[in-house]
């Protein structure tokens, strides 16, 4: 009986529910609040640049065929209100979010990345350097990577191929 109750409760926690009191998706609110504004155009430029850099990074990493986690959070109502997209390989982390003040922000990290020099050149061309931050993952990059692969849904984990 206890197992039925716990699985029933867990199912409810994982389902999207409009009645749940939570912060709405920040990127949706930003688009509504700042429609046709300079802020919105800047956010769109940052997101576009993020995806262009990500595509180049994937081309570089593909030869190694790493196991990666990649998720577009905009499509899921049960997840973070701030996250837009995340990419994580064993050597590079790339993440974009919409923060409390509706500005898009990018985070990245390296872990013995064979292509760090090339990726840094791509990031250096990122004209919004105040909106991109190099971070350290906790407790270590390798632990973070293993935890993501262990706990995230397998539907977001795949082998990156050329």
Q: Name the pLDDT band for 103 (thresholds 50, 70, 90).
A: confident
Q: Using one digit for the tens of pLDDT, what is the confidence trace for 12-65?
A: 333 343 445 556 555 455 555 656 667 678 888 898 899 999 999 999 999 999
Distance (Å, whole) CA 126 – CA 39: 17
Instruction: Collect all residues with Cβ–Cβ distance below 8 Å to 31 and sequence separation of at least 6.
Output: 40
pLDDT of 6? 38
Question: 104 or 3: whose pLDDT is higher?
Answer: 104
What is the average per-residue pLDDT within 141-162? Answer: 95
Phi and psi at residue 150, to the nearest 5°? -75, -45
pLDDT of 73? 79
Distance (Å, whole) CA 62 – CA 60: 6
Question: 36 or 6: whose pLDDT is higher?
Answer: 36
Distance (Å, whole) CA 89 – CA 139: 16
What is the average per-residue pLDDT within 119-125? Answer: 91
List the domain boundaries for the chain: 64-151
Distance (Å, whole) CA 65 – CA 11: 34
Q: Are 69 and 152 in contact (CB under 8 A)?
A: yes
> CB under 8 Å, gap of 24 or more: what pairs does 74-81 form?
74/25, 74/27, 76/16, 77/16, 77/25, 78/14, 78/15, 78/16, 81/22, 81/23, 81/24, 81/25, 81/26
Closest CA to 62 of 109, 115, 112, 137: 115
- Residue 71: pLDDT over 70: yes
Distance (Å, whole) CA 7 – CA 26: 30
Sign of the CA dihedral running 42, 44, 47, 49: negative
Distance (Å, whole) CA 57 – CA 132: 16
């Amino acid at each position: 009986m206890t197992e039925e109750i716990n699985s029933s409760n867990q199912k409810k926690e994982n389902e999207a529910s409009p009645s749940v009191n939570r912060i709405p998706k920040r990127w949706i609110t930003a688009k509504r609040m700042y429609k046709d504004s300079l802020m919105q155009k800047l956010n769109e430029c940052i997101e576009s640049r993020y995806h262009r850099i990500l595509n180049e990074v994937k081309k570089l990493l593909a030869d190694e065929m790493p196991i990666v986690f990649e998720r577009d959070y905009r499509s899921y109502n049960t997840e973070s209100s701030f996250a837009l997209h995340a990419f994580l390989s064993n050597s590079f982390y790339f993440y974009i979010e919409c923060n409390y003040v509706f500005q898009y922000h990018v985070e990245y990290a390296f872990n013995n990345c064979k292509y760090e020099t090339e990726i840094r050149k791509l990031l250096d061309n990122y004209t919004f350097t105040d909106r991109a931050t190099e971070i350290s993952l906790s407790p270590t990059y390798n632990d973070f990577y293993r935890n993501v692969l262990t706990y995230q849904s397998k539907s977001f984990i795949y082998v990156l191929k050329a």
